[in-house]
Chain A
Amino acid sequence: MNNLLPLVVGVPLLAAAVSPMTKRRLVLRRLLLLGTPAAVLTFGVLLVIETRDGDVVAEQVASWDAGISIAFAADLFSALVLVVMSLLTLVCSMFLSATGEDEDPLIVPLVLVLSGGVFGALLTADLFNLFVMIEVALLPSYVLISKSLKTPALAAGRIYLTVSLLGSSILLGGIAFVYAVNGSVHLGELAGAGHESGVAAFAGGVILIALGLKGALVPMHGWLPRTYPYASPAITALFSGLLTKIGIYGLFRVFSVYFEGASQVQGIILAITVTTMVVGVFGALGENNMRAILAFHMVSQVGYIALGLGFFGVAGMAAAIFYLLHHTVVKASLFLSAGAIETQYGTDRLAPLGGMARREPILAVSFFIAALSLAGIPPFSGFIAKFTLIRAAMDEGEYLAGGIAAAVSIFTLLSMLKIWNAVFWGAPSEVADQPGRATTVMVDTDVRIRRALIIPGALLALVTISLGLGAEVLLPLAQTAAEGLVDTSAYVQAVLGR
């Protein structure tokens, strides 16, 4: 099992290299696009089975001694995230095929490289390789975000690229500091290093700031709602599921291994995450496009996920891991449903759309399920995620954080209802919704959205139902994964080859 770990990075990169040769054979290219994440998904499931008791699978590449070699390691946490992310890549690839975007020979290799980089970042046990893998994932995203070459997409690409570059620079600086202080960037050798001296803690803190920027935590969130909605729908869904989450994943990993938790900064973490929740949800209230609303909600939800770091115990981390898995699925489902409408009708603005529930019942139902799940209504996965998280907050005596988390859900529901009322119920309105600009978009109410566009979002909506009803299975797994993060000795021993 362990010697297959590097292939999780290698196979997508290899497939990306091969795919430009399939210039005229679309079927072959689609096979690569869909087959690669499907293969990684299968491997991820096997990895979850292998690590379900808290075992850690580690590989020292080319059998060099541990500490010298490039180390890959998978514990239950990374295996679970790998499963969800490869599933998401697969579903987004289905959507890319449905819209015909993959007829552009450039899209497929870019998506494959992006996914390969993200998978690599999940499995690497070395801070510098984490930086490299994140860069591998980010480079194609710079091209993908401006792919349409329309003016707003180019402007968004500029913001996205400069902010990401700033984040990567800070990350690299942090890694240089860590090396200067500890003489190593190997996660196994850095276990608990954050507690050894103030300088070491500062060095790790710089890395945490950079990862927080990648994950769009307040006050470093402004770039996300300004850039994500301008990419094509499937790409937005892919970014939301893979790129922001890799920042959060790194945050969890570094915080647990390098710092082994840091109760001194608990107050700061709680303040940042709670503000993130509130700012994101209020930002969404002011938007009038489906994907812009959803992008602001991403910021809000990232706050929920990172809240678990604030009370660094098994219960809090298990809730956070469950939330991470749930949110990746649900947010992508919403983006893809909104994307299906946008692809067919040419707009995702709320005003010109309406009455979609009558015309597109399947799409309406899957959007409805995902929206309720996002807001945290039972029996969907969002309820379990929020319930366990708020209960962990209450157990820790953080009543304010728990209370705000519950209150923010109501506002989440509010803006989901806003989309629902405007898009799925009622009639298309022709009112100009921006002052000084007449509505130019008129929606043709006779068109039907193609089935192939609806299926990807509906598929993920099914996953959120099964995560909600099957929480009995997933919660213990999240619990075990959380134990692996709170007590990292098994992980550390495995990557050190002991």
Chain B
Amino acid sequence: MSAAVIVGILMAGGVYLVLQRGLVRVTIGFVLIGHALNSLLVAAGGMGFRAVSFISTSDPAEAADPLPQAFALTAIVITFGITIYLFGLARSGAEDIPADDVPDEERAS
């Protein structure tokens, strides 16, 4: 239940920010969505299993599922890389397109 609430709050905040016009806000929105998805991934392994997932140290029946944790780790790395690039993109066009707004489209020729 607590996982569902966390995912819900993060997702709601993320979607709200992504719908804003400014690119910086959109980026932060995607960070929140990324957090929501990582929580979702970890929750997908089952919240009840909390023991260390090494076979020799704990009972396999109580061990946490390591696979979704590995998924989450991969996803964190990818999201982090893209977030940095997105911030870079917000900065690099800032003279012509303000980082906090998206211009009306115009096809340059």
Chain A: residues with CB nearer than 8 A to chain B?
128, 132, 135, 139, 142-143, 146, 149-152, 154-155, 157-158, 161-162, 165-166, 168-169, 172-173, 175-177, 179-180, 226, 229, 289, 292, 347, 349, 440-441
CB neighbours (8 Å) of A349 from chain B are 109
Find out whether the CB atom of B41 lies under 8 angstroms from the CB atom of A155. no
Instruction: Please give me the residue from chain B that is nearest to A68 by CB atom.
Output: B67
- 17 inter-chain pairs at a CB distance below 8 angstroms, sorted by A residue, are A128-B71, A142-B82, A150-B108, A151-B97, A151-B108, A154-B93, A155-B102, A161-B86, A162-B23, A162-B30, A165-B82, A176-B37, A176-B68, A180-B44, A289-B107, A292-B107, A347-B109
CB neighbours (8 Å) of B90 from chain A are 158
**CB-CB contacts below 8 Å: B60-75 with A:** 67-68, 71, 74-75
User: Is B48 part of the binding interface, using a Cβ–Cβ cutoff of 8 Å?
Assistant: no
Q: Interface on chain A toward B: helix, strand, loop, or mixed SS?
A: helix
Query: What 7 A-B pairs are tightest by C-beta distance, nearest first?
Result: A180-B44, A154-B93, A151-B96, A179-B44, A176-B40, A176-B41, A176-B44
CB neighbours (8 Å) of A142 from chain B are 82, 85
Find out whether the CB atom of B18 lies under 8 angstroms from the CB atom of A179. no
CB neighbours (8 Å) of A226 from chain B are 105
CB neighbours (8 Å) of B107 from chain A are 152, 229, 289, 292
Find out whether the CB atom of B74 lies under 8 angstroms from the CB atom of A132. yes
Other A-B contacts than A139-B78, A179-B45, A292-B107, 15 sampled, CB-CB below 8 A, are: A132-B78, A139-B82, A146-B89, A149-B92, A152-B106, A158-B23, A161-B85, A162-B18, A162-B30, A162-B86, A169-B33, A173-B40, A176-B37, A176-B40, A179-B71
CB neighbours (8 Å) of B109 from chain A are 289, 347, 349, 440-441
CB neighbours (8 Å) of A155 from chain B are 93, 97, 102-103, 105
Best-buried of A139, A149, A155 by chain B (most CB within 10 Å): A155
Q: How far is the CA of A238 from the CA of B25 in the complex (A)?
A: 31
CB neighbours (8 Å) of A173 from chain B are 37, 40
Closest chain-A Cβ to B10's Cβ sits at a distance in Å of: 12
Q: Which of B26, B68, B81 contacts A179 (CB 8 A)?
A: B68
CB neighbours (8 Å) of B96 from chain A are 151, 154
Instruction: Please give me the residue from chain A that is nearest to B41 by CB atom.
Output: A176
Q: How far is the CA of A154 from the CA of B75 in the complex (A)?
A: 25
Instruction: Please give me the residue from chain B that is nearest to A149 by CB atom.
Output: B92
Closest chain-B Cβ to A245's Cβ sits at a distance in Å of: 22
Q: How far is the CA of A226 from the CA of B26 in the complex (A)?
A: 19
